[in-house]
Amino acid sequence: MVGLALGALPAAAGDVLFTNSAFDLDAAGWNWENWSAAGSSAGHDATRNSPVTGGSATSGSLQLVNNFTAGGGYQQAVYTFQLPAPEDFVGQVGAVTFDVKVDEASTPRVEGDYGWLEVILRQGGNWDWVGLPGFRLEGTGWWRVTFPVPKAGVDSIRAITIKLGDNDLQGPITLSVDNIAYTTHPDDVVISNVDNGSVDFTPAGWSWENWSAQGVVSYDPADTHGRSTSGMARLDHQFLAAPDTYQQSVFTFLLPGGDVNAALEYDTLNLDVRVDPTSVPRATGDYGYFEVILRNGSGWDWLSTTVDGATGTRISDTDWHRLSVKINPLANQTHRLTFKVGDNGLLGPVILNLDNLSFTRNTAPPPPPTLGLAKADAGLTLVATSSDTYGRHNLYTADNPEDPTRYSFVDSPEPVSYSFTLDRFPDATAYPGFQAHIFLVPGTPGTETSPDWNQPTLAYMDIKASATGGNATFRFKTDQAGNNTELYGAGEPHTVVNSSTILGTWTLTAQGSVFTMTAPDGTVSAPVDIGADAANWFRSDFGPLLRVYFGIQPNADGNKGQGVGVGGIRIQRGSQVLVADQFTGSELDPILWTPNAAAGGVQFVAPQDAGYIANWTVPDSGFLLQASPSLTAPAWTTLEVTPTNIGQKRQAVLPPSILPTGDQVYLRLFQPDPEPPTEN
């Protein structure tokens, strides 16, 4: 490429300095466009310099005197540098970036800013304008601006133009420009370089999630490369010294450009990240598990990104690291980025610096979705549809104000049993760690799907498959809201029961403060007495109310999309059957049950609707699910279905009533040709 001679100052990684970029001696080649604001000028200012680490303190800058007058109309001042020869930016230049400062003597607009700054690439023999997204100049400090370059229409760039313009300008505005550079990662789309901030204000778009451990987000005027013109986000995770407890602190950033179809447009999300050296490491020497999550759709779905197949990474030093995470294929309406640090055994504050967030464009069109088909089973199925690796998918006993203590074991003279019959369960070898569970939660919990974390008190039967059948573990906690370390603490009186089969009925029985478990093969666990004091926690302010949850949890990314077939649920006090449901009716009984899961997590298929289940991979933007009774004389019709997300696939139940009649049915995913543009 012609014209990329390095200037006197070092550039940040990925930047190539523009011709005479640093303006050390002069501003040769820059000219005022004399059709723009009269009396404006471009020249060299030897007294003003934007410092870069290692740069000369005596270097100068390009001075642009924009001779605006007070008025209500639009004004603009335009300056151009002609390149020595046409340059092809396609696949070579991803952005134009430079430092800029407004002189303190400049006249602000009534709104307090100094106008709209743009960079224009002059393309082809006619010097056509290729405008790049601009910035509003706020304040008079040095700051770094980045102008992303489009992927097409920039194969013959003849000149670089800088323009300042706006309505309601009130007088002259003088700009200093320094350290112009080309960013040589053309497939990177800048999200934020955390520029133009102030230590007195929270950086724009950033917030702490107040349901997590205390945290503070602030602006740090230093940046990854030591430039004083740029900055970085400082995320203070104010963890306590808690060697036996899990903690997490979470921050979220609003994408400045609005919603994006990240799965379709981008391959990775990139950022620079560093642990501040003043942070407190865990006993193992690292600083916890760091995750980047995409927030998607109107429900703010939590979509994990991946690093080498894992949902995060463990940071074990205080050096800068360039991290690239894989975009989740379900991220079709992404509006925020969430950053989480969490772990057991955190011993004090962990401070992260984040800088230079960008997306990397997809360089090839995504593969078309692939379609699969399975026979639908009638009845109730619980499916791990949440993007959260530990997402719970439950249904619980509907609260009954006329009989609020119906399911409670507290004060019952007879044993109360809670039974969960499993007809289908994921294979232990292929899907290790997948669990089914029964939660006993006192009071009137909220609608959260993880009462074992959110609620202070709970008894818990944790059911898993094993190589020889299955096993269940009894766990409980009291007065520990927003945590679950009591459930897994080694000192708690847990008990385990093993079974020769995972399929069949698992039962948790309470008699006063004593609990036992019965496996499908009839094996009974050793009893656990949680004690009268612990049992008393299962009373609420309203008496011995109890809500009973029956559900599943994947516990591993590879287990998402798996589910269990539920053969029945039964709750019994002595010989009195309080509820018994085999889920053979035409719908889930709302008098008895409340679904409590991500979309598609509680699937009920009536016998008359037990046709097929179609599933397909994503991204699937623009594809329609269609059916035809024949391939020799196809008559394709679009099926009106609402798919749910199942892991990294979509799934739709196809009742016989929506399928063509006859002995055979063919399905396809079809993407229609785009509509031709309409003429005005």
pLDDT, residue 51, reads 65
List the Cα angle 621/627/631 in 5-degree steps.
115
First to last CA, the chain: 41
116 close to 166: Cβ distance less than 8 angstroms? yes
List the Cα angle 519/524/526 in 5-degree steps.
130
The single residue listed with the structure tokens 């299962």 is 538
pLDDT, residue 542, reads 52
318-344 burial string, b = 16+ CB within 10 Å, else e? Answer: eebeebebbbbbbbbbbbbbbbbbbbe
Residue 366 has φ and ψ, to the nearest 5°, of -65, 155
328 close to 648: Cβ distance less than 8 angstroms? yes
pLDDT, residue 10, reads 34
Neighbours of 491 (CB within 10 A): 7
Which tens digits make up the pLDDT trace of 601-652? 999 988 888 888 899 988 888 899 999 999 998 999 999 998 887 767 888 8
The token duo for 679 is 């003429």
488: left (phi over 0), alpha (psi -120 to 50) or beta: alpha
206-361, superfamily in CATH?
Galactose-binding domain-like (2.60.120.260)
The single residue listed with the structure tokens 């093993």 is 498
What is the domain partition of the chain in residue ranges? 15-186, 206-361, 374-608, 612-670
Peptide bond into 619 cis (omega under 30): yes
The token duo for 49 is 């310099």
475 close to 488: Cβ distance less than 8 angstroms? yes
Its pTM stands at 0.66
The token duo for 544 is 């011995």
pLDDT, residue 353, reads 95
d(CA 615, CA 593): 27
**Low-confidence residues of the chain: pLDDT under 50:** 1-13, 53-57
Fold of 15-186: Jelly Rolls (2.60.120)
pLDDT, residue 179, reads 86
d(CA 11, CA 9): 6
Dihedral sign, Cα of residue 490, residue 495, residue 498, residue 504: negative
Size of the chain in residues: 680
d(CA 210, CA 216): 10
CATH classification for the domain delimited by 374-608, as one of 2.60.120, 2.60.40, 3.30.70, 3.30.300:
2.60.120
Residues near 678 by beta carbon (within 8 Å), at least 6 away in sequence = none
Fold agreement between 15-186 and 206-361: yes
Residues near 256 by beta carbon (within 8 Å), at least 6 away in sequence = 191, 192, 204, 205
102 close to 140: Cβ distance less than 8 angstroms? yes
CB-based burial of residue 349 (10 Å sphere; 0-12 exposed, 13-18 middle, 19+ buried)?
Answer: buried
